[in-house]
Chains A and B, each alone.
Chain A
Amino acid sequence: MADAVIVVSLLLVAVTATAAVANRDPARQALVLSVLGLVLAVLFTVLQAPDVGLSQLAVGSALTPLLIMLSVRRVKRRGQPKDGGR
């Protein structure tokens, strides 16, 4: 019973990671990835590793989505005709 919270967070991580792989569009993947960062941070916390959880939160909640979405925008702009894409 005491491990219920560990089981729940492990299940959440497994489901979210699978969902991140199953999505095809990078923007939607980034959305799933940011939620994956949160549940991973919870998993690290319940395994008593708050330092790692803190790193995961710092990187996963805002920085990774920003880097991915900026790359997506750049690639999209490159594919569009010149004066319509801004």
Chain B
Amino acid sequence: MNDWNLAATLLLAVGAGAAVWGVSTGPLRRRVVAQNLSTSAVCPSLLLLAQGYDRPSYVDLALLLALLGPVGTLVFARLLSDELTDDPPRARGLTWAAAGLGAVTVVVLCAAVGPSRAMVKLLVIGALLIGGNVVASRALSGGFRGVRGG
């Protein structure tokens, strides 16, 4: 087991473990935040795993997750908007911490692969992941206030 895999294992155990705990207990506002943050814990660990196994094609998994994970959160933000408007989640600190985690992972991996097409792909994944999580977090805390049913 190399350092990349070790980092991915730790990230999964701590980040994804916390997300699972948060999503399965507590009030709804905590659960949706945990669902959103599960993306930002799992996507960097998939990137680390791809580097650890030395298989660049595994990066596609992280790309897909960075695209679709925030979309999944938007689904909940939109279709649970009635309940979330009454009791909006507040997770600014957590959101930015998760964004920082994604940014650090992407920067470290970029330094490891060097300037190439793989690096461009990593940067795209990082931008999609961080942007998606910040926007999804905003959507959860009142982005769909005007939606009634439609």
Contacts and interface: CB of A to CB of B under 8 A. Distances in A.
Tell me, yes or no, whether A and B come into direct contact in the complex with CB atoms closer than 8 A: yes
Interface of A: 1-2, 4-5, 8-9, 12, 15-16, 19-20, 22-23, 27-28, 30-32, 34-35, 38-39, 41-42, 45-46, 48, 50, 53-54, 57-58, 61-62, 65-66, 69-70, 72-73, 85-86
Interface size of B as a range: 35 or more
B149 interface: yes
Contacts, number: 119
Contact of A28 (B31, B69, B72, B75): B31
Contact of A69 (B20, B28, B76): B76
A50 B60 CA distance: 9
Interface of B: 1, 5-6, 8-9, 12-13, 16-17, 19-20, 23-24, 28, 31-32, 34-35, 38-39, 42, 45-46, 49, 53, 55, 57-58, 60-61, 64-65, 68-69, 71-72, 75-76, 79-80, 148-149
The interface residues of chain A, by DSSP majority, are classed as helix
- Interface majority SS (helix, strand, loop, mixed), chain B: helix
